[in-house]
Chains A and B, each alone.
Chain A
Amino acid sequence: MKSIVIGVIGADVHAVGNKIIDYTLQNAGYNVINIGVLSSQEDFINAAIETDAKMILVSSLYGHGEIDCRGMRDKCIEAGIGNIILYVGGNIVVGKQNFDEVRRRFIEMGFNRVYAPGTPIEKALKDIREDLGD
């Protein structure tokens, strides 16, 4: 069973979406390690190392995702899991910005996939299956 680490990054306490992702991924047959809300980059990375996870799925709902996610890929590289697949989604920036621009910034930060507000989890699940080769 492949392991995926999920959680809500930064000073963000939005727990509902996190539970939905947990439920959906478990039903899809993945071993979900849910580190919950108020999680730091290190919390995600540590959990991924110990569980040999193939993917980290970062949620951010409160608009500060860009600050919270900066440098995460570099830390993964430092921690020896540089090849791990990183997803991010939610309301990851403030205001009505052009999402193609937002996506470009997060891709440059090292995220493999970036989801716009309101993306249904089913769409992400399809990508997860594809990226993990299931």
Chain B
Amino acid sequence: MASYLLIDFGSTFTKLTAVDSSIGDVIGSASHFTTVDTDITEGYQNALNQLYHNIGHHISFDHTIACSSAAGGLKMAAIGLVQELTVEAAKRVCLGAGAKVDLVFSHHLTNAEVASITKQKIDIILLAGGADGGNTECVLYNARKLGEAEIGIPIVYAGNKSCQDDIADIFTHYGIDGYMCENVMPKVNVLNIKSARDQIREIFLKKIIVAKGIKKIESQIDQVVLPTPEAVLRASELLAKGYLHESGLGDIVLVDIGGATTDMYSMCNATNRSDVILHGLEEPFAKRTVEGDLGMRYSAPGIIKSLSREEIEFINQDKGVDIVEAVQYRYDHVSTIPEDDRDEFIDQLLAEMCAYQAMQRHVGRIEEVLTPMGKVYNQVGKDLSEVAYVIGTGGVIIKSKKAREILVKTTNVLHSYLELRPTNPEFLIDKLYILAAMGLLSQHDPALALQIMKKHLMTV
């Protein structure tokens, strides 16, 4: 039997969750503003005191583990050759590692692109290009280009295996902090996530959290082990698949609407149907997409940009609001908390639009092709139509009085059978905000993490 203190150093809040395995449940939680700009330990200590207060007594925990998305999280640039192939593969690996992919480049890098890597304060670059045995010219050019620019950022090479040695020479020549991994796309349309993802996590833990002033917390806790989105990804995967005798929920979708991004996770195979032909890059079972232009505050203007003029007019007339002005206000005042019914109404509306749009970009599509052999189905992306549960997390969903309405927007509301959105799922919310913590706990005691999630995810 063991007690765990699970910590999530978020961009805004440091969230603590205490678990006692002898009780098999969460025994308390607390949160405080993250204080990474001054000293991250301050906010942690305050949250910890609050936790002791909530529990009613002091506890010495057997394990204290943390995940972090503080100080901007993990910012990555994904570089590949062809947009639909190695660029997409590189992007998916970064997202699967819990990163925010701020920059995505294809083909030969330009000076302006290289300059933007420094300007955007990228933490790690993932450099891919070429299937194994395939194109080497472009990726070698890009490696040299990055070397010449002396960018001083760790580079993970996960491109064509055939030029690994040449890449290593380039890294040595320019003094680049470089790492060698398996190709993210060893064959056309085959996705290989693990090697590069593990390498990214290792660099994140060894270097990035040091640079961001998060590492010093390790004098007080055991370890920071994961970027927060990866902890959530692991929790979701466990929740879907189950562990030994403890069954999972089956295929699930998770939506996390935050101030700056909307994250969408799906845990399922690309399709369960035998009558479709799959096209494009292989889809991972555990897929995460992040929409950096869809969020409740910092990224609220992105919601407006995704709408046409007619749609804005329609919303304004239909809902009796001035959506453009409301969004601008939230962008200018990012710490706005809804004060009245009207504020809540607008936040609800924005959250519904985030959920709808983020799913639109995450989900796969099916196309009916009429051939002389009859009708066939051509599918690109993942088929989510059969998922059993759509789960919501993130402040706006958890606090909403109409959380179900937000989650419903991820489903096939327009009844288009060519869209592979969830059709008839059940809806759950992460009321206690424990998913990241359970992702951490799953590294030690998966069965317990799973039991706790199943117990506390609330039907809406």
Q: Which residues of A contact B (CB under 8 A)?
A: 1, 3, 11-14, 31, 33, 35-39, 42-43, 46-47, 49-53, 62-63
User: Closest approach, in angstroms, between the C-beta of A11 and any C-beta of chain B?
Assistant: 5
Query: Which of A42, A43, A52 has most B Cβ within 10 Å?
Result: A52
Of the residues B85, B369, B378, contact of A47 by C-beta under 8 Å? B85
Whether the pair A38, B369 counts as a contact (CB closer than 8 A) is yes
Q: Give the interface centre of B84, B85, B131, B188 by most chain A CB atoms within 10 Å.
A: B188
Q: Is the CB of B134 within 8 A of A38?
A: no
Name the distance in Å between B134's Cβ and chain A's nearest Cβ: 4
Q: How far is the CB of B232 from chain A (nearest CB, A)?
A: 31
Q: List 10 A-B contacts (CB under 8 A).
A: A3-B133, A11-B369, A11-B370, A14-B373, A49-B81, A50-B81, A50-B131, A51-B130, A52-B133, A62-B373
A38 touches B376 (CB 8 A): yes
**Complex-state Cα separation, A86 to B84, whole angstroms:** 22
* Minimal beta-carbon separation of B25 from chain A (angstroms): 50
Further pairs besides A13-B277, A38-B376, A52-B133: 9, Cβ < 8 Å: A1-B133, A11-B371, A38-B279, A49-B81, A50-B81, A50-B82, A50-B130, A50-B134, A51-B135
Bound together, the chains give a CA A39 to CA B277 distance in angstroms of 10
Q: In the assembled complex, which residues on chain A have CB atoms less than 8 Å from the CB atom of B130? A: 50-52
- Chain B residues with CB under 8 Å of A50's CB are 81-82, 85-86, 129-131, 134-135, 185, 188
Report the separation of the CA atoms of residues A38 and B279 in the bound assembly, to the nearest whole angstrom: 8
* CB-CB nearest in chain A for B129: A50
Q: Does B56 contact A (CB under 8 A)?
A: no
In the complex, chain B residues 103-144 whose Cβ is within 8 Å of any chain A Cβ:
129-131, 133-136
Verify if B189 is at the interface (C-beta below 8 Å from A): yes
Q: Is B320 an interface residue (CB 8 A)?
A: no
Establish whether residues B134 and A13, one from each chain, have CB atoms under 8 Å apart when the complex forms. no
Cβ–Cβ contact B82 & A51, under 8 A? no
Q: Is the CB of A36 within 8 A of B188?
A: no
- With A33-B188, A37-B277, A46-B82 as given contacts, are A52 and B134 in contact (CB-CB < 8 Å)? yes
Please classify the interface of chain A as helix (H, G, I), strand (E, B), loop, or mixed, using the class held by over half of its residues: loop
Name the A residues within 8 Å of B85 (CB-CB).
Answer: 46-47, 50
Q: From A42, which residue of chain B is reached at the shortest CB distance?
A: B84
Chain A residues near B134 (CB, 8 Å)? 3, 50-53
Question: Across the interface, do B376 and A13 meet the contact criterion of CB distance under 8 Å?
Answer: yes
Q: A41 CB to closest chain B CB, in angstroms?
A: 13
Closest to A61 in B: B372
- SS class, residues of chain B in contact with chain A: loop
Q: Which of A11, A13, A42, A49 has the most CB of B within 10 A?
A: A49
Report the bound CA distance from A1 to B260 in whole Å. Answer: 48
Contact B188 A35 (CB under 8 A): yes
Shortest B138–chain A CB gap in Å is 8
Closest A residue, CB atoms, query B86: A50
A63 to B134, CA, bound (A): 32
Contact with A along B23-61 (1 / 0, CB 8 A): 000000000000000000000000000000000000000
Min C-beta distance of B105 to chain A, whole Å: 15
Chain A: which residue is nearest B188 at the CB level?
A47
Q: Which of A14, A42, A51 has the most CB of B within 10 A?
A: A51
Distance from B186 Cβ to chain A, minimum over Cβ atoms (Å): 11
User: Whole-angstrom distance from the CB of B276 to the nearest CB of chain A?
Assistant: 10
**Residue B431 at the chain A interface, CB threshold 8 Å:** no
Known contacts A33-B187, A38-B277, A38-B279: does B376 contact A51 (CB below 8 Å)? no
CB 8 Å contact bits of B169-189 with A (1 = contact, 0 = none): 000000000000000010111
A119 to B301, CA, bound (A): 59
Give complex CA distance A114, B413 in Å.
Answer: 48
Assembly CA distance A24 to B85 (angstroms): 26
Please report the C-alpha to C-alpha distance between residue A38 and residue B82 in the assembled complex, in whole angstroms. Answer: 20
List B359-380 residues whose CB lies under 8 Å from chain A.
369-373, 376, 378
Q: With the chains together, A31 CA to B378 CA distance in Å?
A: 26
In the complex, what residues of B have CB within 8 A of residue A49's CB? Answer: 81-82, 135
User: Are B133 and A12 in contact, CB atoms less than 8 angstroms apart?
Assistant: no
Which of B84, B85, B135, B277 is the most central at the interface, judged by chain A CB atoms within 10 Å of its CB? B135
10 closest Cβ pairs, A-B complex: A51-B134, A52-B135, A52-B134, A47-B188, A46-B82, A11-B369, A11-B371, A50-B131, A51-B131, A62-B372
Whether the Cβ atoms of B373 and A13 lie closer than 8 Å is yes
